[in-house]
Amino acid sequence: MSISIENLNKRFGDHVALNDINLEVKSGELLALLGPSGCGKTTLLRIIGGLDVADSGKLLVNGLDIAQRDARERNVGFVFQHYALFRHMTVFENVAFGLRVKPRKERPSDAEIKRRVTHLLQLVQLDWVADRFPSQLSGGQRQRIALARALAVEPKILLLDEPFGALDAKVRKELRRWLRQLHDELHITSVFVTHDQEEALEVADRVVVMNHGKVEQIGSPDEVYATPASPFVYQFIGNVNLFHSRIHSAWTEQHGDAVAYVRPHDIDISHTQQDNEALAGEIKLIRAVGAIVRAEVAVAGSDELVEIELSRERFDAEPMVNGDRVFIRPRQVRVFE
């Protein structure tokens, strides 16, 4: 099922939540909506799921306008950040819920419900907790049950709202890898919302970066990281150093009012001056963090601190300590006016 969103707008009072959103979700892909909190990503997801209504614009699923349809008629699976499991039902009844509320004619028999629920619980590797209540499960288990429940009605589209947001770091990593595998098995068109860039880059086929109710960039994880389309994307995804053209005109190769964006790992650092574009500075702090070495360099003649990342190999070839006089030079610069 492909989803296509055209000129979608949504306001809450004076606040513009979504401003003229245009977006295509391809059939079978896993798309991430990435942005800071309040950027409208959850609102967009809720509108696709029918839990909120857009003020204007089109929402097409397989070319069919579904904007006027109720959430219950959309055949969309929704997974909530805080699980939203039915607290008074067992895990089994939670997963069976979508089957039990079907109209009598479409409702499967009890034996069929049992078979399908058991199958789903096996799929999320939790068939052994069928008789427990949600309050007796860990966060990661609850979210897997929530996913099984959403899948029970065989939705055409799966929507996940910050699905791992309430979990601790380790479980989050495990679960997102597991979600990616599950998606590769089921190939169900999925959209998930996250504010965690690492999560979006690791899991999604394509990433939509949003800010202030607008789409900033749509692209593969590699595209949005390597070639950010706007200063916002540059700063939101990964770390970045800013250089104003008024001070560093040699770097920006421009004399107007522009800003150069440089990733910390795109800066060379050396005791010897590379060429006359290099800036002199002093190492304020240098330390190894896992596989990389991080340095903060104060540029001579200004109070700016430049963040630099270099590989351990590079560091071992030319060791440096705090207080060293060094020269820095960018390998790759992106200029935005």
* Cβ partners under 8 Å of residue 8, min gap 6: 18, 20, 21, 22, 23, 44, 47, 54, 56, 57, 58, 59
Q: How far is the CB of 153 from another protein (least distance, A)?
A: 6
Helix (H, G, I), strand (E, B) or coil at 30: strand
Parallel/antiparallel/unpaired status of strands 292-299 and 279-289: antiparallel
Sole window of 64-72, 232-240, 253-261, 262-270 interacting with another protein (rule: CB under 8 A): 64-72
- Helix, strand, or coil (residue 247): coil
Q: Does residue 320 interact with another protein by CB under 8 A? A: no
Contact 240, 263 (CB under 8 A): yes
CA atoms of 152 and 78, how far apart (whole Å):
11
Q: Does 84 bind another protein (CB under 8 A)?
A: yes
Judged by beta carbon, residue 13 or residue 323, the one nearer another protein is 13
Q: How many CB atoms lie within 10 A of CB 181?
A: 10
3-state helix, strand, coil in the chain (%, to 5): 30, 30, 35
The smaller minimum CB distance to another protein, of residues 149 and 172, is found at 149
- For the bound state, the minimum distance from the C-beta of residue 43 to another protein, rounded and expressed in Å, comes to 14
Write each residue from 44 to 63 as x if it is in contact with another protein (CB under 8 A), else as -, in one continuous string: -----xxx------------
The answer to the question of residue 330 lying near another protein (CB under 8 A) is no
152 forms part of the interface with another protein (CB under 8 A) = yes
> Of 88 and 115, which CB lies nearer to another protein in the complex structure?
88
Binding mask 97-136 for another protein (x = CB under 8 A): xx--xx------------------------------x-x-
Residue 86 CB, nearest approach to another protein (Å): 6
Task: Candidates 35, 40, 77, 228: give the one binding another protein (CB under 8 A).
Answer: 77
CA atoms within 13 A on the CB side of 275: 7
What minimum distance in Å lies between the beta carbon of 172 and another protein? 20
Q: Is residue 41 a contact residue for another protein (CB under 8 A)?
A: no
Apex 164 CA angle, 21 and 25, nearest 5:
30
**Residue 80 sits in the site that holds another protein (CB under 8 A):** yes
Encoded tokens for 71: 């959430």
Residue 82 near another protein by CB under 8 A = yes
Exactly one of 31, 44, 78, 172 binds another protein (CB under 8 A); which one? 78
C-alpha to C-alpha distance for 314 and 288, rounded to whole angstroms: 12
DSSP string covering 276-324: TT-EEEEEEEEEEETTEEEEEEEETTS--EEEEEEEHHHHHHS---TT-
Positions that interact with another protein (CB under 8 A): 49-51, 70-72, 74, 76-78, 80, 82, 84-88, 97-98, 101-102, 133, 135, 146, 149-150, 152-153
